[in-house]
């Protein structure tokens, strides 16, 4: 481990600030144990090529690790590609054709997903300071199930 730390120092690598939380792993026991063990290390030269680089902790679904998103640039993607949504399978008349099933039927899928992930992240923030109570655990489980399907 010492050799690895020395290598990081010798190469001038550094850890980017982490948005969205301070820790990336937790042991789900009482009391909760939280550590930051996942990270991106970059060099000053690399950061010069990608000056807008950032890392963000994403909400976790089932793992004891949080995903980390490395964002290098703001890219305009143009027209949004088609994505099949599993929830369409639950809608009456799906077999007749799904071309007409749009925001009028399901609402903004991306906006709804973002809302669910924001709610999940709020529970992760609460859990970083204390254990969730039973009602919160049930609500978090509902959110995870909604995201998964």
Residue 105's pLDDT is what?
Answer: 60
Residue 145's pLDDT is what?
Answer: 84
Question: What distances in angstroms separate CA 15 from CA 9, 45, 55, 60, 104, one per listed residue?
Answer: 11, 14, 9, 21, 44
Residue 12's pLDDT is what?
Answer: 93
Residue 30's pLDDT is what?
Answer: 64
- Residues 18-53: pLDDT tens digits? 988 888 888 777 667 888 888 889 999 888 888 888
* Residue 10 binned pLDDT confidence (cut-offs 50, 70, 90): very high
User: Residue 61, exposed/middle/buried by CB under 10 A (0-12, 13-18, 19+)?
Assistant: middle
- Residues 101-128: pLDDT tens digits? 565 666 677 788 888 889 988 988 888 8
Phi/psi at 100 (nearest 5 deg)?
Answer: -85, -5
């Amino acid at each position: 481990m010492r050799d690895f730390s020395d290598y990081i120092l010798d190469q001038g690598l550094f850890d980017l600030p982490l948005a969205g939380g301070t820790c990336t792993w937790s042991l789900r026991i009482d009391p909760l144990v939280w550590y930051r063990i996942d990270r991106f290390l970059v060099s000053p030269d690399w950061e010069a090529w990608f000056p807008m680089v950032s890392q963000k902790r994403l909400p976790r679904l089932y793992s004891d690790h949080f995903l980390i998103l490395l964002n290098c640039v703001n890219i305009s993607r143009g027209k949004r590609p088609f994505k099949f949504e599993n929830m369409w399978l639950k809608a009456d008349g799906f077999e007749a054709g799904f071309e007409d099933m749009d925001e009028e039927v399901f609402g903004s899928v991306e906006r709804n997903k973002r809302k669910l992930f924001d709610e999940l992240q709020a529970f992760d923030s609460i859990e970083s300071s204390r254990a969730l109570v039973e009602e919160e655990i049930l609500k978090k489980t509902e959110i995870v199930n909604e995201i998964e399907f």
